[in-house]
Amino acid sequence: MKRLLSCVLALLVALSLPMSALAAEAPTAEDLKTPPAISKLEIHDDGAGCVWLEVTVQTPSNVRGAVDYYENHESGYNQAGYIGGLVLQYSIDGGEWQETSLNYSPNYEQDDDSWTGIFETEYLNELHVDSQVKARARYTGAYADGNVRVSDWSNELVLNEQADFNASQWALGELAEADRLGLIPDSLRDADLTRPITRAEFAAVSVKAFEALSGEKAEAGEDPFTDTDDPEVLKAYKVGITTGTSSTTFDPDTLLNREQAATMLTRVYKKVSIEGWDMSRDGEFADAFSAMFTMPEPFEDDERISGWAKPSVYFMYANGIINGIGNNTFAPKAVTDAETAIGYAQATREQALAIAVRMVKNLK
């Protein structure tokens, strides 16, 4: 009878205590180091020049148990300390790691004690909507003895991940955009993009630009050439944005110059924008094409630009797609043997992809 009474009294005492105090166990060293989990990373832009990161964070149950232990045990403060905030470590466009505090987003209702929900940074001046961002987070706080309490770093999320291009520094941003727009053909994906571009490679870029502007999928047709069976060349030929160097040859490995690159991509635009246009009837649409842009002032080396290429060169320049090389010169092609020997006016692979990006963004 006494044993039964003791059990009942013990049960009544237990029921009078908070359930969390009964359930929580003293936190272990592993609990105190457990990081948060990031499930989502986003860039937000208010359209007025303010850009920030928004992060969805979950706090694991063993971390919540450690915090719960502190709240319900006098000695817990010494063992578990407390979580005072979340720190975000981030890298923008391959730059150095930087740190900032995360605050609860004012756009969402959430429990401030759970450390789970939507958090955001202050405005980040170097951030833009297309930035590549790497980010990870950890808890910060303190122990009763004044020592800093930090967890391990969370998982790392990457936003707008850029391919590892073998290219010049100036081209990396536009190459990342080319990748997002689907403008990089397989033949160039792992290539040295600083090298001059061939006719076959540029045909492949032109096909990608055509598909992006038209929303149509190009298909290869019958092969009239004896020197190539490249499917991208055959697609460009069937679409009508390139020709052979003869009725049976294409010369796929011949390098392109700047006026040829301008002309081939202009054909893409004509094909998409001028109903009924094809290369065999190009002259019939000269007036319609001329009405599409305002002719800029001539380049200083205008006399070097081939007559057949001038409308395309100035169309591309007027629309901010192909720029000059400085001093109001365009460098359309090599004229002398010395210029040919040094590769003067050759179009490079990274240049071709950059102008394809500008074309799709400026003219779509």
**Residue range 113-131, pLDDT digits in tens:** 678 889 999 999 899 888 8
How far apart are the C-alpha atoms of 113 and 220, rounded to whole Å? 61
The H or E element spanning position 31 is helix 29-33
Which range is least confidently modeled, 18-27, 39-48, 130-139, 264-273? 18-27
Q: For residue 83, what are the β-bridge partners?
A: 141
Kindly give, in sequence order, each residue whose CB lies less than 8 Å from that of residue 313, ignoring residues fewer than 6 positions away.
259, 262, 263, 305, 322, 330, 332
Which range is least confidently modeled, 140-144, 231-235, 332-336? 140-144
Which range is least confidently modeled, 30-39, 171-180, 302-311? 171-180
| The pLDDT of residue 4 | 38
Distances (CA, A) of 344 to 194, 310, 325: 14, 18, 11
Is the confidence at residue 235, as pLDDT, over 80?
yes
| The pLDDT of residue 74 | 63
Which range is least confidently modeled, 128-142, 157-171, 191-205, 316-330? 157-171
| The pLDDT of residue 1 | 43
| The pLDDT of residue 112 | 57
Is the confidence at residue 169, as pLDDT, over 90?
no
**Comparison of pLDDT for 348 and 172, the residue scoring more:** 348
Q: What is the DSSP letter of 294?
A: -
How far apart are the C-alpha atoms of 323 and 343, rounded to whole Å? 18
Beta strand pairing status for 37-45 and 98-104?
A: unpaired
Helix axis angle, 172-181 relative to 349-363, nearest 10°? 60
Tell me the mean pLDDT in the region 87-104.
92
Which range is least confidently modeled, 12-16, 41-45, 202-206, 303-307? 12-16
Contact between residue 134 and residue 18 where contact means Cβ atoms under 8 Å apart: no
Band (176; pLDDT cuts 50, 70, 90): confident
Which range is least confidently modeled, 109-113, 206-210, 351-355? 109-113
Burial 263-292 (b: 16+ CB within 10 A, else e): bbbbbbbbbbebeebeeeeeeeeeeebeee
Is the confidence at residue 76, as pLDDT, over 80?
no
Which range is least confidently modeled, 79-93, 245-259, 264-278? 79-93
| The pLDDT of residue 80 | 74
Average pLDDT, the chain: 87
Band (197; pLDDT cuts 50, 70, 90): very high
Is the confidence at residue 15, as pLDDT, over 60?
no
Band (297; pLDDT cuts 50, 70, 90): very high
Domain residue limits, the chain? 22-159, 169-363
pTM: 0.61
How far apart are the C-alpha atoms of 35 and 154, rounded to whole Å? 5
User: How large a percentage of the chain has pLDDT more than 90?
Assistant: 66
**Comparison of pLDDT for 4 and 189, the residue scoring more:** 189
User: How large a percentage of the chain has pLDDT more than 70?
Assistant: 90
Which of these, 245, 82, 202, lies nearest to 151 by C-alpha position? 82
Q: For residue 315, what are the β-bridge partners?
A: none
Contact between residue 317 and residue 323 where contact means Cβ atoms under 8 Å apart: yes
How many other CB atoms are there within 10 angstroms of residue 119's CB atom? 24
Decide if domain 22-159 falls under CATH 2.40.30.60.
no
Which of these, 134, 132, 139, lies nearest to 156 by C-alpha position? 134
